[in-house]
Homo-oligomer: A and B are copies of this chain.
Amino acid sequence: MAQDKKQVTAITPRDKDFAQWFTDVVVKAELIDYSSVKGMFILRPYGYAIWENIMHQQDARYKELGHENVAMPMLIPESLLLKEAEHVAGFAPECAWVTFGGSDPLEERLAIRPTSETLFCDHWARTVTSWRDLPKLYNQWVSVLRWEKTSRPFLRHREFYWQEGHTIHATPEEAMHETEQMLEVYADLCENWLAMPVVRGRKTDKEKFAGAERTYTLECMMHDKKALQSGTSHYFGNGFAKQFDITFTNKNNEQEHPYQTSWGISTRLIGGIIMVHGDDNGLVMPPRIAPVQAVVIPVAAHKEGVTEASRELLARLKKAGIRAKIDETDNSFGWKAAQYEMLGYPLRVELGPKDMEKGQCCIARRDTGEKYFVALEDLESKCASLLDEIHDNMYAAAAKRLEENTFYAETWQDVDEIMEEKGGFVITKWCGDQDCELDMKDMAGVSSRCIPFKQRGTEGKCAICGKTCTTDIMWGVAY
């Protein structure tokens, strides 16, 4: 039957070809299948289960903070998209357009939503009339479509899954607070659930969201030292409200335009998980979001009682709230070990006849490969503490990489040299001029990732023009 069994085949070593390693992991761990349309990917059960866990964790947080889920249409009339000039300039070039309904050409073509600001504005223009209607704190879990020229699994899909929060408030202060709050919700997800340390900051005008007054961002360093934008939160002021004619009567009985925000995270985060934590044996899942936290493997299962005792361990783990499964197939132990390393399950619990005699089991952790012989009565407590340890260890490793590969430089020549020799993030002073930002891209090949919230507060010289200034800006190469 060996020909029937899927083989755990080798993947390209990570440091030999990072891009190929990434694709190998995505395919071999059965996260994604390529579809018949270029740039549109199928999320297979394991890939979707990761996204589901992110959704459940985040959805509960949003609701705790008073947000409500809604569902807007997936199609946007062209005239609606055209209402906000910056926004349409940013998104229209990459819209997919519906031009026929059945066999009839449409009077007006419709864009599949690339993002839904215009739809929310259109709705609020009809439904918000008084300060009593505010705030509206809405969110939706949907897919959106952007007709990109190039595509890569998780990192750049023509269709990708995300949530988009959209809120509308009576005052700019409230809207700004919302913008900041949601960035922090995302940072908590990245750091405390995905074990991904992030740099919090503000995008420059060049890099901000089309139509936003301010965009806040989380920038995360991947294993190859490139940056992945891992969550963004936008403050719109009342610009959209003016264009879409959204007004409300305030408490003084005056007409005012309300203030808006939007914020989103997407399945890109799964690309981040892979590229921050994965290794030459495959995926390494952060325990708190892992669809399977522990797999029980009966060893020499033909021996009396092994299967039954293994099932009992499974039941105990599940009862303790640990997401666990068992592998009772007739695949070899070596195959199973390699397979679950590929899938990145944090813990492997092995039980054989000799373990049973000794009243123990063997627990192997994915991140370090360490093995522990654990008394059976300590199973649940040891697994729970190991899952926390693994999280902490994965976070610490990523934080160390971020720290060791974040540099300070004074001139663009220094930046160029650092990127040439080492790669990573480089922080310099910046005068705030967009020409300097563009010059840095031309001369050192890096784009601005953000103006970090943590500023040194020192005076220095713009790395490009040499003008005296205080702002720290962080540069890097982005996915």
Residues of A within 8 A of B (CB): 4-5, 33, 35-37, 40-45, 48-49, 51-52, 68-75, 77, 80, 93-103, 109-110, 112, 119, 122-123, 126-127, 130-132, 138, 142-143, 145, 147, 159, 161, 249
Considering the chains assembled together, what is the distance between the CA atoms of A68 and B47 in angstroms? 11
Q: How far is the CB of A210 from chain B (nearest CB, A)?
A: 15
Among residues of B, the one whose C-beta sits closest to the C-beta of A1 is: B132
> Are A74 and B123 touching (Cβ within 8 A)?
no
> Are A37 and B143 touching (Cβ within 8 A)?
no
> Are B75 and A159 touching (Cβ within 8 A)?
yes
What copy number does this chain have within its complex? 2
Considering the chains assembled together, what is the distance between the CA atoms of A103 and B95 in angstroms? 8
Considering the chains assembled together, what is the distance between the CA atoms of A37 and B143 in angstroms? 19
A71: contacting residue among B75, B101, B130, B161, CB under 8 A: B161
Cβ of A36: which chain B residues have Cβ within 8 Å of it? 77, 80, 122
Known contacts A49-B68, A73-B159; decide if A100 and B96 are in contact (CB<8 Å). yes
> Are B98 and A102 touching (Cβ within 8 A)?
no
Considering the chains assembled together, what is the distance between the CA atoms of A35 and B97 in angstroms? 18
Considering the chains assembled together, what is the distance between the CA atoms of A123 and B43 in angstroms? 11
Q: How far is the CB of A46 from chain B (nearest CB, A)?
A: 9
**A–B complex contacts, Cβ < 8 Å, 27 sampled:** A4-B130, A33-B126, A37-B75, A37-B77, A40-B74, A40-B75, A41-B73, A42-B123, A43-B71, A45-B68, A45-B69, A48-B68, A48-B70, A52-B69, A73-B159, A74-B112, A74-B159, A75-B96, A75-B159, A96-B98, A96-B100, A96-B101, A96-B102, A96-B110, A97-B98, A99-B100, A102-B147
Considering the chains assembled together, what is the distance between the CA atoms of A74 and B93 in angstroms? 20
The 4 A-B residue pairs with the shortest CB-CB distance in the complex, in nearest-first order: A45-B68, A101-B147, A40-B73, A43-B71
> Are B110 and A102 touching (Cβ within 8 A)?
no
Cβ of A75: which chain B residues have Cβ within 8 Å of it? 37, 40, 96, 159
> Are B159 and A42 touching (Cβ within 8 A)?
no
Cβ of A103: which chain B residues have Cβ within 8 Å of it? 93
